[in-house]
Amino acid sequence: EHVDIGQRLKRQRLELGLTQKALGEPRYTHAYVSTIEAGRRRPSDKALKYFARKLGGDVEELRTGRPPDLAARLELLLREADTAISRGEFGQAEEVLRKVERDASRHSMVAQQARAKELRALGRERQGRLEDALELYDAALTMLDSQPSTARAFATAGKARCLGYMGDANYAIYLVESLISVLRREDLTDPSALVQVLAPLVTLYFDAGMVQRAAEIAEEAAALTPHVSDPGTLGNMHVNVARRYLARGDYNEATKSLI
């Protein structure tokens, strides 16, 4: 890390035609700048801010190498890809998501890289390419292993759906119930994460013949909807709840859930 910061500092200094003495003065000596550029010393936050001002750049870019607007640009691309998937434009979404993955990987942005894999998996799932989707969901879960458990909700729900489609409902139920247990044990009661994993559980319980349990989960998910803002999460939940009502012949309630 010290070496990387030093290399970025040196590159930006040379691009501006500054000597080490000119960059450091009046606060720091050229010897101090030299040790940083050689990777022998990590600059303090105060020094980094000083150098960033002298270079006319961003302190975060100097520290990490990431352009200051990168996170916002990647988030925009992820949203565009999500919209493309919802329209069935899978090729366009795949192209965008691979670019996000490359950029996120280059700058060690694990959350964005994992999200790109999750959306690529969703695209495969929507196309019925379930084995490919499972592989991508598993890759995303591996990347998120050190993240808070709430971050694993989307990929876990997707993996469970795929397993359910492939006839392995019991294992799918086990995966979802295991994550829900962790969320509750750790008191990570993020409504959006809970709804994400509760939604497929409704269908899985129905398919396993556990109608009463499916009804209970559907009610729990519905109660959380006022606290969830993401339209994709809400839409998926309502579809699964509607399926529960249709299965028992309650067509009016099914219609209400979908409106």
pLDDT for res 170 = 92
Amino acid present at 70 = L
Contacts of 41 (CB under 8 A, 6+ apart): 2, 32, 35
Q: Are 93 and 81 in contact (CB under 8 A)?
A: yes
Query: To the nearest 5 percent, what fractions of the chain are helix, strand and coil?
Result: 80, 0, 20
Q: Which bin fits 13, alpha (ψ -120 to 50), beta or left (φ > 0)?
A: alpha
pLDDT at 121 over 90: yes
pLDDT for res 223 = 80
Q: Which pair of tokens denotes residue 105?
A: 């990987």
Q: Is 16 helix (H, G, I), strand (E, B) or coil?
A: coil
Among residues 210, 209, 218, the alpha carbon closest in space to that of 237 is found at 218
Q: Which pair of tokens denotes residue 103?
A: 């950029």
pLDDT at 236 over 70: no
**Which residue is listed with tokens 């000119």?**
22
**Region 56-69: what's the mean pLDDT?**
84
Dihedral sign of CA atoms 16, 18, 23, 25 in order: negative
Among residues 129, 115, 134, 223, the alpha carbon closest in space to that of 172 is found at 134
pLDDT for res 194 = 85
pLDDT at 57 over 70: yes
pLDDT in tens, 73-88: 999 999 999 999 999 9
Q: Which pair of tokens denotes residue 182?
A: 């962790």
pLDDT at 235 over 70: no
pLDDT for res 229 = 60
- Please give the Cα distance from 82 to 94 (Å, whole number): 10
Q: Quick count: other Cβ atoms within 10 Å of Cβ 185? A: 9
pLDDT at 224 over 80: no
- With a threshold of 0.85, does the pTM exceed it? no
Dihedral sign of CA atoms 44, 49, 52, 53 in order: negative
pLDDT at 253 over 80: no
B/e letters for 222-241, b = 16+ CB within 10 Å, e = fewer, are bebeeebeeeebbebbbebb
CA distances from residue 252 to 42, 160, 176, 203, 204 in whole angstroms, order as listed = 65, 28, 29, 19, 22
* DSSP structure class, residue 40: S
